[in-house]
Structure 1
Amino acid sequence: MKKVKHNKKTRKSYFIKILTLLVVFGTIIVYGNFTIGTTRYKITSNRLPVTFKEYKIAQISDLHNSEFGQGNSKIINILKKENPNIIVITGDLVDSSNTDIDIAIKFIQQAAKIAPCYYVTGNHEAWIGDLYDELEEQLLDADVTVLHDEMITLSNGKDSIQLVGLDDPDFTDRATYVQESILDAKLHNIGLEEGFKLLLSHRPEAYEVYVTHDIDLVLSGHAHGGQFRIPFIGGVIAPNQGFFPKYDAGEYNEGNTTMVVSRGIGNSIIPIRINNRPEVIIVQLYSQ
């Protein structure tokens, strides 16, 4: 009888432990999918004009029609609190499988009241066909600057830097093996000048192309943080990079080029994230 009682206690103990683990894991999953954080980067360059010291850039990437609070109020509140000099949107503002332009535009209209907004397309904009024209028209109506393979000047005081924006290569060709060449040709054709260059490009996998063109800072997205993140290893899978992607999230440095890859905010094909909280990125610039 004592042995039976002991076995019941052991089974009960195991059950409680497993239930506790499931509750903890479930809480982590819910927290990591329905809350949004802020990730900060300090970028230093000897080519940055002194007047741009502490210039603050907020990056929004891969919204995919997600909503965090009514009208994306949670994201808007973060942006208001940070009060950036500019807000950049690095593609996939909408999702091609469930396109809702109203969600995107309501968010943009509020963001544009906080700071000047600059936008480049992602692959999902390329996939929505004629709906993209409607999206861009409304972006322009909201005073968003849409960059199509072009460079403009950002001024701060008496100095300026170059802001470059690339359209997603899926607008040209969806074959993966030609897309780095497409982006390379785009940068050649823009005619970059001497001085600090900030590039907005949805595709982090083309990092070597950006290094070749001596870009100072690249802000990118697309990888969704690798979707599922393993501690000390990184992301598990990312579009156009496959399993254990090289450029999944965070900061990368080679030569004069720094790339910051956003984990993004929304999801697309895979509807859940693990250990991969959605984020708003805040970059502050410093001159050496």
Structure 2
Amino acid sequence: MLCLVCVLLAALGLGAVWGNRSLQVQEVAVDCPGLPAAFQGFRLAQVSDLHNAAFGRDNARLLAALAQAKPESILLTGDLADSRRTHLAVALSFARQAAAIAPVYYVPGNHEARLAQYAAFAAALEAAGVQVLANRAVPLVRGGGRITIAGLADPGLAQRAGDLRPAEAILGDALAALRLSSQPFPLLLAHRPEWFPLYAEGGAALVFSGHAHGGQVRLPGIGGLFAPGQGLFPRYDGGLYRRGQARMVVSRGLGNSLFPLRVGNRPEVVVATLHPAPSVEGQ
């Protein structure tokens, strides 16, 4: 009996290790009202919440998965680094190699917002070939069509600099300054998914977020157990969401932070393929 218990415990332990280190590539098709026809089939790979994790030596397995997905752009939606384990060289090495696969766009998450060296980190990312979109937008052209890729800095950056307003007010002002409604098909990178209604009202057509870590523990038929900013049984824990004509893709992320274990929740790279969809009044 003791041997059987030991075997079961060993199996559970190995399963937990496998479930936290085994990469999953999650393909998602996104119907996008207002997407220019030239962007039919546009592929975007999303890496979120890496938290300095390494999948293979120097993230070789993660980079191989990205290369195999053949994205036209790579989106880094925050917490590339971890404020508790500030091995920034790991994050920078990954970013530099990812930029050799496809153009890379990045927004800071709450962990970068806590870094005393964030300004130097952002400058190093730019030097590595990554576009840092902290409250700014850039155009992207494909086959004669044009969209906009915009990024929201995590509100923690402003709060750390002395802005004592709540996150919603900070994000609202940043969104207003971006003037997304006047931009061609605004695709928004924003680390925190719980503010999806605010992003949609601010004019975002398509949002990519992370932060929720898939709810950390995923229960069959229920979903994620807990996410920061959302609490128990979060509404936005991973996958594709719709609000009116806006869409949001939430990555379950790759690494762990304060809670070091995922259960039923493998690390994932999201690969989103965009398709134009008709705009419906009152949708």
TM-score, length-scaled by structure 2 = 0.92
- CA deviation after TM superposition for structure 1 residue 23, in Å: 4.3
Which secondary structure does the structure 1 equivalent of 2:122 belong to? helix
Mapping 1:199-214, distance limit 5 Å:
199-214=188-203
Mapping 1:59-74, distance limit 5 Å:
59-74=46-61
- CA deviation after TM superposition for structure 1 residue 185, in Å: 1.5
Distance change (3 Å), C-alpha of 1:125 and 1:243: same
Which stretch shifts more, 163-172 or 41-50?
A: 41-50
Instruction: Give runs of ≥4 in structure 1 deviating > 6 Å.
Output: 174-177
Contact 1:215 1:256 (C-alpha < 8 Å) held by counterparts: no
Mapping 1:19-98, distance limit 5 Å:
21-98=8-85
Whole-angstrom CA distance in 2 between matches of 1:118 and 1:133: 16
Tell me which amino acid in the other structure corresponds to 2:44: I
Contact 1:207 1:259 (C-alpha < 8 Å) held by counterparts: yes
Over the aligned positions, Cα root-mean-square deviation in angstroms equals: 1.8
Tell me which amino acid in the other structure corresponds to 2:173: A
TM-score, length-scaled by structure 1 = 0.90
Instruction: Give deviations 1:196-235, integer Å, cap 9, x for gaps.
Output: 2211000101011012123221100011111111111111
**Pairing 1:285–2:265 present:** no
- The match for 1:275 is 264
Tell me which amino acid in the other structure corresponds to 2:30: I
Give 1 or 2 for the bigger CA radius of gyration. 1
Gap regions ≥5 residues in structure 1: 1-11
Which stretch shifts more, 189-198 or 91-100?
A: 189-198
Whole-angstrom CA distance in 2 between matches of 1:177 and 1:261: 26
170, 173, 178: which one aligns with 1:185: 173
- CA deviation after TM superposition for structure 1 residue 272, in Å: 0.9
Tell me which amino acid in the other structure corresponds to 1:188: A
- The match for 1:235 is 224
Mapping 1:208-223, distance limit 5 Å:
208-223=197-212
Whole-angstrom CA distance in 1 between matches of 2:32 and 2:254: 28
Contact 2:33 2:245 (C-alpha < 8 Å) held by counterparts: no
- The match for 1:110 is 97
Whole-angstrom CA distance in 1 between matches of 2:105 and 2:188: 11
- CA deviation after TM superposition for structure 1 residue 56, in Å: 0.4
241, 246, 250: which one aligns with 2:239: 250
Tell me which amino acid in the other structure corresponds to 2:12: F
Whole-angstrom CA distance in 2 between matches of 1:168 and 1:208: 16
Tell me which amino acid in the other structure corresponds to 2:93: K
Contact 1:176 1:240 (C-alpha < 8 Å) held by counterparts: no
Contact 2:77 2:108 (C-alpha < 8 Å) held by counterparts: yes
**Pairing 1:266–2:252 present:** no
- CA deviation after TM superposition for structure 1 residue 33, in Å: 0.6
Taking every aligned residue pair, what percent have the same amino acid on both sides? 42
Contact 2:148 2:183 (C-alpha < 8 Å) held by counterparts: no
Tell me which amino acid in the other structure corresponds to 1:86: S
Distance change (3 Å), C-alpha of 1:176 and 1:72: farther
**Pairing 1:173–2:159 present:** yes
Whole-angstrom CA distance in 1 between matches of 2:130 and 2:59: 18
Which stretch shifts more, 159-168 or 245-254?
A: 245-254
Alignment coverage as a number of residue pairs: 274
- The match for 1:6 is none
- CA deviation after TM superposition for structure 1 residue 25, in Å: 2.9
Whole-angstrom CA distance in 1 between matches of 2:17 and 2:145: 45
Whole-angstrom CA distance in 2 between matches of 1:133 and 1:171: 10
Contact 1:56 1:282 (C-alpha < 8 Å) held by counterparts: yes
Tell me which amino acid in the other structure corresponds to 2:269: V
- CA deviation after TM superposition for structure 1 residue 28, in Å: 2.5
